[in-house]
Structure 1
């Protein structure tokens, strides 16, 4: 089977084609890829690199296609620099060598160091090793949850409760909480648009928050769904520093799991990188844990 490659051009058609490809990859392989549909939605919405380079997407994403125009491989760099990711269709494993070579010799030309993250089952792993990359470190774990066959319950301290955005939560207060957790000291806190609601897979009924006894949001998570395939990705989970180690993170994710079960979603994935995050996600009874490693190439 032959394939050709082309630059990713930022059009609605290309966005939908890549989005479909990433959702299909999970069902074809039975595994989450290093890029899934939610991460791609975030990338498509990420304004900072695009403001610095109007052609950022064209310069940092590349497609491989078969004779019928179906996507068979994706190269993408989240923010430019030397970091990239490769997704290879399982029916086209031979493309991995070509994609790694293109990454190293075309996109990576002039870059002293290239690095990527891979799961051990990734089609690209052997091609990376064959072409001079070395495995560097274990950076995180992705956990799979069987929502259909796992019982979930949670308890909250008196005076605390959980609400979803569909039930009415102040967007500004929640945006401020997110910024306080992930961007402490940022002067933009208080001026952040609640842009996640514009993502294609966003559901207000899966946008959960723990409210404290003074009516303030103190923990949150977002559930994003591929409804066609019954798969959810829980993306962006956080608890205010003053309220950690009190079970609020576990409670808010559990509430999301229970809502997903009501909607007929059978599988959920969460990826954790820090020791604290991995401990929390492990306590939620995953049925599978997959490590992620970094691979590095230095000229």
Structure 2
């Protein structure tokens, strides 16, 4: 997916970000922490969030310097640390085809490594970037926790509202995309209006990102996903696409669903207007994201940021149709 935001300037910046991430992840005095953090860092993530930091910086007329590179690395460190915590909460045994840290090292060690990555990002932000950037990232970490708590609080609630689902994904996912753009605007000393515009763009894209990920969990095959389809249903996460569906499935939801019950719900959802309704909802978010962008004088970067939301939607459609 990173190809969607790839330009020579972004590619060059990402190579520097990668070096910085690895240094931060390997900066503990304890080899075990460095090894664990290194496994997560090198597990093949898209680096979409730091790429957006670089794109936002270039859009605001600032070539990514050391501070921007470090800020982008901090964003990715927070993302990686939060993935460890997600795996712990979900009891996940695999991620991206490899064993999770909690499966290999145990819950206690995995928790500490996740904490280390979050704390290391905070320390780098305050010492190597700026206090305003550190404040953005600290506030974002609060939102990540609140969004995840909101989702946990709604588990197996067949009466979950769309508004509750949106609040949850705004906190647990969209907030970090918002931060990825906002820290670039802060480093660029952008005006308050341009900071707000870049933050709004990032947040709306983050909503699209999570909603489409949730849609694929309900529509794509296990082969495409690399994990069992309908995993959210099994874990009691009733996502926005399900809530947008016109299918009569809520009476079938609940703890302890069998594989046959999950299959029945998936079949009903796929036969409904869920996919079309969800994509239409995401296109509305894409229009809002593009409308939020400030004036961008770099034509290449403008094409990247203006095109990214729609390109991501098109990519999700292709994955759904290929399943």
Normalising by structure 1, report the TM-score. Answer: 0.32
Task: Return the structure number with greater relative CO, CA threshold 8 A, min gap 6.
Answer: 1
Q: TM-score, normalised by structure 2?
A: 0.30
User: Which is helix-richer, 1 or 2?
Assistant: 2
